[in-house]
């Protein structure tokens, strides 16, 4: 691809979106930034609406399949902890079940349709906060 086409695309992505999505193929180490330039846009703070994010590394919604009876397992919490510890600025969870069972869904999906799941959901947030209070987490839900 010649430079006249390549550069405008790169500039469009950089100025329009300004965020990099991290797909969890593996877990980032706490030293993920070593040797990388500090002035990169990816590592600069960003905003979504009024929410400030420490950098533009975003973990996209990916079904973790690490829940039992709708409750996140220790493995699920370890996934979240690893992402947070690795330096991700925003974690978007896999789809949580937002309505009671009645439609087929994965047995390994986190549930969020009843108040009895609040203590379990709170563990997810606490895992992020105790690992790195500057990391943000969004929940995706499905019906």
Q: What is the pLDDT of residues 90-136, one digit of tens each?
A: 999 988 988 887 766 677 889 999 999 999 999 999 999 999 999 99
CB 71 within 8 A of CB 120: yes
Residue-wise pLDDT tens digits, 34-49: 555 555 788 889 999 9
pLDDT at 41: 80
pLDDT at 39: 57
| Stated pTM of the model | 0.70
Compute the distance between CA of residue 58 and CA of residue 16 in angstroms, rounded to an integer. 15
On the question of pLDDT at 59 being above 80, the answer is yes
pLDDT at 7: 43
The percentage of residues in the chain with a pLDDT greater than 90, rounded to a whole number, is: 45
On the question of pLDDT at 22 being above 60, the answer is no
DSSP letter (8 states) at residue 130: H
Residues with Cβ within 8 Å of residue 11, at least 6 apart in sequence: none
Take residue 6 and report the two structure tokens written for it: 């390549």
DSSP letter (8 states) at residue 102: S
Residues with Cβ within 8 Å of residue 126, at least 6 apart in sequence: none
pLDDT at 35: 53
| DSSP letter string, 35-81 | TS-TT-GGGS-EEETTEEESSSEEEPP-----EETTEE-HHHHHHHH
DSSP-derived 3-state class of residue 28: coil
């Amino acid at each position: 691809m010649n430079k006249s086409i390549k550069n405008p695309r790169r500039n469009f992505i950089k100025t329009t979106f300004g965020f990099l999505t991290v797909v969890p193929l593996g877990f980032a180490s706490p030293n993920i930034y070593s040797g990388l330039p500090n002035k990169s846009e990816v590592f600069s703070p960003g905003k979504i609406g009024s929410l400030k994010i420490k950098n533009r590394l975003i973990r996209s919604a990916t079904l973790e399949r690490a829940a039992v009876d709708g409750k996140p397992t220790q493995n699920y919490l370890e996934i979240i902890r690893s992402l947070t510890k690795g330096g991700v600025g925003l974690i978007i969870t896999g789809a949580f079940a937002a309505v009671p069972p009645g439609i087929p869904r994965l047995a390994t999906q986190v549930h969020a349709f009843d108040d009895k799941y609040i203590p379990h959901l709170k563990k997810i947030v606490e895992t992020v906060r105790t690992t790195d209070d500057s990391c943000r987490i969004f929940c995706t839900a499905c019906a």
